């Protein structure tokens, strides 16, 4: 029975190594996700400033087009002034021309103001793009470092997985099924019970009679508290058995 326990213990050691590797690496994906979120936020800030600039430039172009159309309309109206047959008609058209010219003046002032805003917006975009470029370089480098570390761990786990397959072949099939069932819930799945009868997994006391039976049989039992597989410590340590006190 000791050989079976040794084989199972060797398998568990491999599983614990795998678990330790995965635990050390489990933060990497979260850290990468956080860095990618920061990268997306920085890009969104740049895109927002570019959108503002595009909107200002669109407004300016639209106003300039409107001014051009209004000027053409005024020129046509001015050409028609001499064709008016009555003073009333002449005055009405002249008034429309005057209103249109004042509207053009207002729009021209708006174009000038938009031009100033566009200059400021371009500077903001340029600054944001510079900040984004620097931040992107730093974040991308940090993400790549984490990806490299994660890849290294995955490669190590792959190698150990192959080692585990070999170790599992040496384990008694019945014990292996029991062990695999327990390890899905908690690790380590198999733990020693030390005299005078304490489970090293959950630190709870094992009843004296149960412990004595475990020592005498030098086999496997189940902890009534944590349901781990338990064995007498001296079995694997090759010590003389120690019975629980009466």
CB 201 within 8 A of CB 195: no
Confidence of residue 85 (pLDDT cuts 50, 70, 90): confident
Helices (H), the chain: 2-25, 27-81, 87-169, 173-183, 208-217, 233-237
Q: Quick one: which H or E segment has residue 191?
A: strand 190-194
Q: Does pLDDT of 240 surpass 70?
A: no
Q: Quick one: which H or E segment has residue 232?
A: strand 229-232
The pair of three-digit structure tokens given for residue 210, joined into one six-digit string: 């149960």
- pLDDT tens per residue, range 110-135: 999 999 999 999 999 999 999 899 88
Q: What pLDDT sits at residue 234?
A: 85
Indicate if the alpha-carbon torsion angle 65, 70, 71, 76 is positive or negative. positive
Q: Which residues pair with 205 in a beta bridge?
A: 198
Confidence of residue 2 (pLDDT cuts 50, 70, 90): confident
Question: CATH 1.10.287.1490 in the chain, residues?
Answer: 17-168
Confidence of residue 245 (pLDDT cuts 50, 70, 90): very low
Kindly report the pTM of this predicted structure.
0.58
Least confident of 36-40, 109-113, 168-172, 238-242: 238-242
- pLDDT tens per residue, range 7-65: 999 999 999 999 988 888 888 998 999 999 999 988 999 999 999 999 999 999 999 99
**Average of per-residue pLDDT across 66-80:** 93
Q: Does pLDDT of 242 surpass 60?
A: no
Q: Does pLDDT of 246 surpass 60?
A: no
**Average of per-residue pLDDT across 165-183:** 93
Count of CA atoms in the C-beta half-sphere (13 A) of 200? 13
How far apart (Å, rounded) are the C-alpha atoms in residues 29 and 45?
Answer: 24
By C-alpha distance, which of 111, 112, 122, 134 is closest to 49?
122
Q: Which residues, at least 6 apart from 194, have a Cβ–Cβ distance to it below 8 Å? A: 200, 233
Q: Which residues pair with 193 in a beta bridge?
A: 199, 232
How far apart (Å, rounded) are the C-alpha atoms in residues 138 and 147?
Answer: 14
The pair of three-digit structure tokens given for residue 153, joined into one six-digit string: 């761990």
CATH fold group of domain 17-168: Helix Hairpins (1.10.287)
Q: Does pLDDT of 239 surpass 60?
A: no
How far apart (Å, rounded) are the C-alpha atoms in residues 82 and 219?
Answer: 120
The pair of three-digit structure tokens given for residue 45, joined into one six-digit string: 């800030």
In degrees, to the nearest 5, what angle opens at C-alpha 177 toward C-alphas 184 and 161?
65
Q: Taking the chain, what is the end-to-end CA distance rounded to the nearest angstrom? A: 26
- pLDDT tens per residue, range 189-238: 999 998 788 999 999 999 988 899 998 888 899 999 999 999 998 888 75
């Amino acid at each position: 029975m000791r050989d079976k326990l040794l084989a199972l213990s060797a398998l568990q050691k491999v599983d614990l190594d795998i678990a330790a590797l995965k635990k050390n690496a489990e933060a990497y994906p979260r850290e990468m996700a956080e860095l990618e979120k920061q990268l997306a936020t920085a890009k969104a800030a740049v895109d927002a400033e570019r959108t503002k600039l595009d909107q200002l430039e669109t407004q300016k172009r639209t106003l300039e087009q409107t001014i051009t159309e209004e000027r053409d309309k005024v020129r046509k109206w001015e050409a028609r002034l001499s064709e008016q047959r009555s003073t009333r008609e002449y005055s009405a058209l002249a008034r429309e021309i005057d209103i249109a010219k004042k509207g053009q003046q207002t729009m021209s002032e708006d174009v000038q103001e938009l031009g100033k805003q566009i200059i400021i917006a371009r500077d903001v975009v340029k600054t944001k793009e510079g900040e984004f470029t620097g931040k992107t370089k730093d974040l991308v480098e940090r993400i790549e470092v984490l990806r490299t570390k994660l890849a290294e761990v995955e490669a190590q786990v792959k190698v150990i997985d192959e080692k585990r397959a070999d170790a599992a072949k040496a384990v008694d099939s019945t014990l292996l099924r029991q062990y695999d069932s327990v390890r899905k819930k908690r690790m380590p799945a198999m733990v020693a019970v030390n005299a005078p009868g304490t489970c090293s997994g959950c630190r709870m006391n094992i009843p004296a009679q149960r412990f004595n039976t475990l020592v005498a049989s030098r086999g496997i039992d189940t902890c009534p508290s944590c349901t781990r597989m338990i064995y007498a410590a001296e079995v694997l340590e090759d010590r003389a058995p120690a019975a629980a006190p009466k």
